[in-house]
Structure 1
Amino acid sequence: MTDEFSDLAELMREEQELTDGLADADPEAHLRRRRRRRIGLLVTAIILVSILGTAGGYVAWALNAPLAAPRATSQLPGAPASTAAPIILPDGTASAISISGADAYLGPDAAGIWATTGANDPRPMASISKLITALVILDAKPLADANDAGPTITFSKADHDLYDKYYVMGATIAAMPTGSSMTEREALAAMLIPSASNYAEAVSTWAYGSQGAFVSAARRWLAANGLTGTTIAEPTGMSERNTSTPTDLIALGRIAGANPTIAAIAATPSISLPGAGALSNTNDLLGVEGITGLKTGNLGYGTYNLLYTATMDVGIGQPLQIVGVVLGENTREGLDNDVRALLTSIREGLRPVPVATHGQQVGEYRTPWGASAKIVIAQEASILTWSDTPITVAMETTTPKTYSDGEVVGSITWTAGPSTTTIPLVVEGSIEPPDDWWRLTHPDELGEP
């Protein structure tokens, strides 16, 4: 623009020189020339003002025009594949299992009978009978709570003789010296923890006065509790006429597990009692996969039984409450292995599945002037699922206000059955505005003034 002003000034000087000479020679011509000169100067001034005004207006517009919003692109991450959990049920036996606390995953009937194997026919339950014996005794001689010792029982010579009776029968027994005494709770522990048959008969006779009265009371108790598939002929389980079905035994397990005295005794690995000495629990699975009880029972080869309870934390809030039974295993080792494998498969079937990592990119913002920022998942995430329940994913995004690092710009949600996990999406990096030169040289990228 300086050159244009210089040229104009030079023309004006030349014009003035011509005008001065003409004024001396021809005054009329001089006046005409001055009028034309003034009109030319006015036109030139108008043109210059227009040029200068246009340039200044463009600069002001370019430096202040709104910018187009950064272009956003996103890609929904794939959901991880779910793999089926192999639930390992006992093979070649009669079994049943009930699970409370996972209805949303296992189905509404899980707390009833979730899975079974074999027929639901009555089978010899062996020493599982002692749970019924203990519950019927507590019906006659109730204890206030798990810590209530109850009345003292003093054992007679007749009680002592039961030791020899059951020894000859090959039953499990515990010492019971004549004249020795222990509390009702201790006597129940001697019956349940080592499964001492002499204590089962002695304490049931103490509670009811005779075995006949006890058996009658036991049958009434079974009927009152709806255990119509269960038969009791005596208190120990030595008789093969003491039978029950898997579904009845699940119900029995719930009743026994809800009784504070029996639940506490059944969860005790070992105990030392006056007269009886040191006693160990026959349930060697206590503590394995959350097992808390209840009672073993066997009549020798081919009749190994276990009615068990377990509390299993699988990360869904409240732990699972499990009641299970296995009847008719060939060996004690096989029984333990089957129960352990089943509970392990349940625990591994309900599992957290990783679905995202911290900072995982799911999109980006890009601008015409070359700035960019990422859309990322704000934190690592996992979702609890059961077995091969499908996992789905959905994402929502919003338009950022500042495009600055850490700004929340939406969320991503994974769903698996009843479980959902939602994590925020954030901007990683910041988008800075372009410099003045880019604005001046890219008018087509700018918004309307």
Structure 2
Amino acid sequence: MRRFKIWTPLVLLLVVVLGVVQAVRPLPQPTLSLTAATTYQFSGKAAPMPWPKSGQAAMDVDGLGSFGSSGAQKPVPIASVAKVMTAYLVLRDHPVKKGGDGASITMDQKAEDDAGLSAQNESTVDVRAGQKLSQKEAIEAIMLASANNIARQLARWDAGSEKDFVAKMNKAADELGMKNTTYTDPSGLNKTTVSTAEDQVKLGKVAMKDPLFREVVRMPAYVDSNGKTQTNWNRLVPMNNTVGIKTGTTTAAGGNLLYAATKEVGGTTRTIVGAVLAQPPAPEDNSILTGALNAGKALIEAAQGTLVAEKVVKKGDVVGSVDDGLGGTTPVVAAKDLTAVGWPGLTVRLKLVDDGTALPHEAAAGTKVGVLRAGDGTSSAVEVPVVLRSALSEPGLGTKLTRLG
């Protein structure tokens, strides 16, 4: 009895202390989880793409997925398509403010001397040693006029030497997952600069995210600082909403084109990015440039024609739940219809994510707690807000007292 009298108050005190500790312990952070299907497949069967009969090709819709590819995806010379990487690196490492022209670049003697290589069928623009070009005009020169001398000048300006710039090109290709690409010069004149259609599509999607790059490659022509009009070699611009990107032709490489085009569907603008490499001459003019443009045009028109919008989730559908971490869940519903863009047979992924802030422990019904997103990327995916279907309440005292861990 004496032991009972001694220990009972201590046990009761311990129980009270433990109860207080359990009651005031921080609550687990609520989490948001998807309960709806993780994917959605568009109805119907995919129509075959008009892939070129020779060479290789690939085509994606940025943020949605790939139409696939044709031909053996083995490294082949890409000619002036290499200048896409040159422009990408110059703009990545020397960003241009919106509405600006960027840095002022002084032309060296080699740039002036290399301009004379036009007599040997190199694409160049005339510059003088000491002349200054804005960064924007230099990008116009390489992407529209396909000026080899300016591509090499940009390499020297950026990295100090063409050799060091080429090392940067290959490092960037590796970082972008371009496993079958090797750059040996900044202009693409060397036939040892090789890549695949799939690799160039990867680069094209990233390059098109830069505002100045997008602005330049969609121009049919520009007037250089000498007052001369320089025409875009990509004659598809601006037909069929073609907004870029770069042609490349040599005897060794054949006809090459990295292209981008847009299509308005489902209230959003989608960007199609594709590449055709090693194309033969077109029968109408025996030109490898025309051969590449014809192959690209056929794929652009087919892709634009097959894009459709379908309703994936209806407003009010339960798509997920908030878990309070102690066994309680509260359903969340789509606040609007979610309409995704794709093509017959395409499967898109659905993802439920928070809106960048910590989920509350208590909230009224209708409170926004995240977004439901359809698509592969964040910049081009479509999304709708999700809200609580009923009030979210903090766990009760009983739950707090009996929780473990």
Length-normalised TM-score, structure 2:
0.60
Q: 1:173: which partner in 2?
A: 124
Shift of 1:387: 6.1
AA matched with 1:345: A
* Residue 128 (structure 1) aligned with residue 81 (structure 2): yes
The Cα shift of 1:158 comes to 2.8
Alpha-carbon distance, 1:84 to partner: 7.8
Could you tell me how far apart the structure 2 residues matched to 1:157 and 1:179 are?
Answer: 8
- The answer to whether structure 1 residue 227 and structure 2 residue 203 are counterparts is no
What letter matches 2:280 in structure 1?
N
Amino acid at match of 1:204: A
From 188, 197, 211, the counterpart of 2:148: 197
**Structure 2: distance between partners of 1:91 and 1:208:** 40
Map 1:57-206 → 2, pairs under 5 A? 85=47, 87-100=49-62, 103=64, 111=65, 113-145=66-98, 147-164=99-116, 166-206=117-157
With a CA cutoff of 8 Å and minimum separation of 6, indicate the structure with the bigger relative contact order.
Answer: 2
Check conservation: 2:263, 2:304, Cα contact below 8 A.
yes
Match of 2:268 in 1: 318
C-alpha separation in 1, matches of 2:188 and 2:304? 32
The separation in 2 between residues aligned to 1:268 and 1:341, in whole angstroms, is: 21
For 1:276 and 1:244, locate their aligned partners in 2 and report how far apart those are by CA, in whole Å.
Answer: 35
The residue aligned with 1:339 is 296
C-alpha RMSD over aligned residues:
2.7
Work out the CA distance in 1 between the residues paired with 2:194 and 2:139: 22
Structure-2 change in CA distance of 1:348 and 1:123 (3 Å): same
Equivalent position amino acid for 2:242 in 1: I
CA distance in 2, matches of 1:199, 1:263: 19
Separation in 1, partners of 2:168, 2:73: 25
Q: How far off its partner does 1:241 sit?
A: 0.8
What letter is aligned with 1:330? P
* TM-score with structure 1 setting the length: 0.55
Q: How far apart, CA to CA, are the structure 2 residues paired with 1:167 and 1:238?
A: 13
Q: Which residue of 1 aligns with 2:319?
A: none
Could you tell me which amino acid in structure 1 is paired with residue 71 of structure 2? G
| Distance in structure 2 (CA, Å) of the matches to 1:340 and 1:156 | 38
Q: CA deviation at 1:83?
A: 9.7
Q: CA deviation at 1:211?
A: 1.3
SS in 1 for 2:208: helix
State the 1:386 CA deviation.
5.3
User: Could you tell me which residue of structure 1 aligns to residue 322 of structure 2?
Assistant: none
* Contact 2:62–2:272, Cα closer than 8 Å, also in 1: yes
Residues 214 and 156 from structure 1, CA distance in 2 versus in 1: closer, same or farther, beyond 3 angstroms?
same
C-alpha displacement of 1:204: 1.4
Change (3 A) 1:148 1:325: same
What's the CA shift for 1:301? 7.2
Aligned partners of 2:77 and 2:253 also within 8 Å: no
Distance (whole Å) between structure 1 residues aligned to residue 143 and residue 137 of structure 2? 10
CA distance in 2, matches of 1:153, 1:276: 18
Q: Partner residue of 2:233?
A: 282
Q: 1:83, 1:213 → 2: CA distance?
A: 49
Percent identical residues: 27
Pick closer, same or farther for the CA change 1:221–1:100 going to 2, 3 Å. Answer: closer
CA contact (8 A) 2:219 2:238 kept: no
Cα deviation, residue 140, structure 1: 3.6
Which stretches in structure 2 are left out of the alignment for 5+ residues?
1-43, 282-288, 310-340, 347-405
What is the alpha-carbon distance in structure 1 between the residues aligned to residue 259 and residue 75 of structure 2? 18
Q: Per the alignment, in what secondary structure is the counterpart of residue 339 of structure 1?
A: helix
Structure 1: segments with no counterpart, 5+ residues: 1-81, 104-110, 353-383, 390-449
Report the Cα distance in structure 2 between the residues aligned to 1:301 and 1:345, rounded to whole angstroms: 29
Aligned partners of 2:191 and 2:252 also within 8 Å: no
Q: Which amino acid aligns with 1:344?
A: E
Instruction: Say if 2:60 and 2:272, in contact at 8 Å, map to a contact too.
Output: yes
* 1: CA distance, partners of 2:49 / 2:90: 38
Secondary structure at 2:268's aligned position in 1?
coil
> Would the alpha carbon gap of residues 212 and 386 (structure 1) be closer, same or farther in structure 2, given more than 3 Å must change?
closer
* Letter in structure 2 aligned against 1:160: E
Deviation at 1:162, TM superposition (A): 1.3
